[in-house]
Amino acid sequence: MARRNKIYEGKAKILYEGPEPGTIVQYFKDDATAFNAEKKEVVEGKGVLNNRLSEFFMSGLNQIGVPTHFIRRLNMREQLVKSCEIVPLEIIVRNFAAGSLSKRLGIAEGTQLPRPVIEYCYKDDALGDPLVSEEHIAAFGWASQQDMDDIVSLALRVNDFLSGVMLAVGIRLIDFKIEVGRIYEGDFQRLIVADEISPDSCRLWDIESGRKLDKDVFRRDLGNLTDAYSEVARRLGVMPKSPATKPTLIN
Ligand code: TMP
């Protein structure tokens, strides 16, 4: 089969033209980056794990009626998704203080927030994805008021779903980031959850030990990233069937 046409290459994924109009093939690389790619490494097996984990979360969301771009997984590293126009915002939902919020406001990491807090960053690598307000979003036309209402409602539904799924396997969802895209259906425009949902874009802490099971392991040099992601996949029953990660000896 002829190699697909590449549409875009990002830090962790490559997008190829899909087999039918309106579809895209999303390929998960093993590259890990942090601090706007100042720190960079190849983490063997990360792409395979994130492909499976994003499939798990996105298909769960589809099943409860939260629309996402996910159609189906194609193979170990690729999934078929709906083509959409990405809204240039990173939408962050926080349940507990951590990361840049803790730094900015001086709130100790792990402090429970009185309610989920939503933040927006403008997607622009050259600017380092700066935090922006709804005023900026409206003034510069990145999203309409109706879009913002839909974005908040999607973000909170994703938060409730992910928090519950993770709680059931002993993991606390500290915060996460999603991206949304527009799809056009006849005269109507709809917003759907796009990009990926994986331990690259969430903070996940083991409830008992506090162990970090997300990309902070890489950002802060806390150990082996694949081990952390494999632990999340194992608890959720989402294990890759080929030896992308270290083989486990039974008996
Ligand atoms: P922050 O505390 O660094 O602002 O991150 C908040 C959440 O967003 C955390 O779960 C990690 C995620 N995130 C991304 O997915 N991509 C990014 O580029 C950054 C900075 C954070």
Atom number, ligand 1, closest to the C-alpha of residue 201: 15
d(CA 109, CA 103): 9
This prediction has a pTM of: 0.94
**pLDDT by 10-residue block (mean), the chain, 251 residues:** 85 98 98 96 98 98 98 98 98 99 98 98 97 98 98 98 98 99 94 98 98 98 98 92 51 44
Say what the alpha-carbon torsion angle 67, 157, 111, 202 is, to the nearest 10 degrees: -10
Residues 6 or more apart in contact with residue 105 via CB below 8 angstroms: 97
d(CA 182, CA 40): 31
Q: Is the CB of 36 under 6 A from ligand 1?
A: no
Atom number, ligand 1, closest to the C-alpha of residue 174: 10
Model pLDDT, residue 251: 44
Tokens of 105: 């406001």
155 Cα–ligand 1 center, Å: 15
d(CA 146, CA 128): 27
Q: Is the CB of 177 under 6 A from ligand 1?
A: yes
d(CA 52, CA 58): 10
Model pLDDT, residue 84: 98
Contact criterion met (CB below 8 Å) for 160 and 115: no
For ligand 1, atom 20: residue with the closest CA: 35
Q: Is the CB of 155 under 6 A from ligand 1?
A: no
Model pLDDT, residue 108: 98
Tokens 């089969």 belong to: 1
Q: Is the CB of 236 under 6 A from ligand 1?
A: no
Q: In which element (H, E) is residue 180 found?
A: strand 171-185
For ligand 1, atom 4: residue with the closest CA: 100
